[in-house]
Amino acid sequence: MIEISKLSFGYKGSDSKKILNDISMAAYPGEITAIIGANGAGKSTVLKNICGLLKGSGDIKICGKNIKNYNRNNLAENISYLSQDTTSNALLSVFEVVLLGRIARLTNSVPDSELIVVRDVLHRLNLEEYASRNIGELSGGQRQLVFIAQALVRNPKILIMDEPTSNLDLYYQFQIMNLLKEITASEGFTTLVSLHQLDLVARFADKVVVIHDGGVYNYGTPEETLTAETFRDVYRMNTEIVNKNGAAYVIPISQYTI
User: For 86-130, how does the pLDDT look when each residue is reduced to its tens digit (9 = 90+)?
Assistant: 666 678 899 988 888 877 666 667 778 888 889 988 988 888 999
% of the chain at pLDDT higher than 90: 41
Q: Looking at the domain assignment, is residue 198 inside a domain?
A: yes
Residue 145 lies in a domain: no
Minimal CA–CA distance to 10: which of 44, 59, 56, 68?
A: 56
CB-based contact 9:211 (threshold 8 Å): no
Question: Residue 124 has what pLDDT?
Answer: 85
* 229 in a structural domain: yes
Beta bridge partners of residue 61, listed in sequence order: 3, 66
Q: What is the pLDDT of residue 160?
A: 94
How many folded domains does the chain comprise?
1
Q: What angle do CA 212, 5, 70 make, to 5 degrees?
A: 120
Residues 6+ apart with CB under 8 A from 163: 84, 193, 194, 195, 196
DSSP assigned state of 246:
T
Q: What pLDDT band is residue 225 in, cutting at 50, 70 and 90?
A: very high
Residue 95 in any domain: the answer is: no
Give the span between the Cα atoms of 79 and 70, in whole angstroms.
11
Residue 68 to residue 71: CA distance in whole angstroms = 8
Look at residue 136 in the predicted model and tell me its pLDDT. Answer: 86
Helix (H) / strand (E) element for 160: namely strand 158-162
Write out the residue range of the structural domain in which residue 243 sits.
2-86+155-255
DSSP character at residue 196: S
pTM of the model: 0.87
212 inside domain: yes
18: pLDDT strictly greater than 90: no
The answer to whether position 78 is within a domain reads: yes
Give the rounded percent of residues in the chain with a pLDDT score beyond 70.
Answer: 93
pLDDT over threshold 80, residue 20 = yes
Find the CATH number of the domain harbouring 28: 3.40.50.300
How, if at all, do strands 57-62 and 65-66 pair? antiparallel
Tell me how far apart the alpha carbons of residues 65 and 46 are, in angstroms, rounded to a whole number.
18
pLDDT score at 256: 84
Q: What is the pLDDT of residue 10?
A: 87
User: 3-12, 75-84, 184-193, 202-211: which range is least confident on average?
Assistant: 75-84
In 93-227, which ranges are continuous DSSP H helix? 94-99, 112-124, 140-152, 170-187, 198-204, 222-225
Instruction: Find out whether 176 and 168 touch, Cβ atoms under 8 Å.
Output: yes
pLDDT band at 13 (very low <50, low <70, confident <90, very high): low
Tell me: the pLDDT tens digits for 146-171?
A: 888 888 888 889 999 999 888 788 88
User: Does position 14 have pLDDT exceeding 60, yes or no?
Assistant: no
In a domain, 33, yes or no: yes
Per-residue confidence (pLDDT) for residue 86, from 0 to 100: 63
Q: Is residue 105 part of a domain?
A: no
How far, in Å, CA of 148 to CA of 181, rounded? 13
Write down the mean pLDDT value for the chain. 87
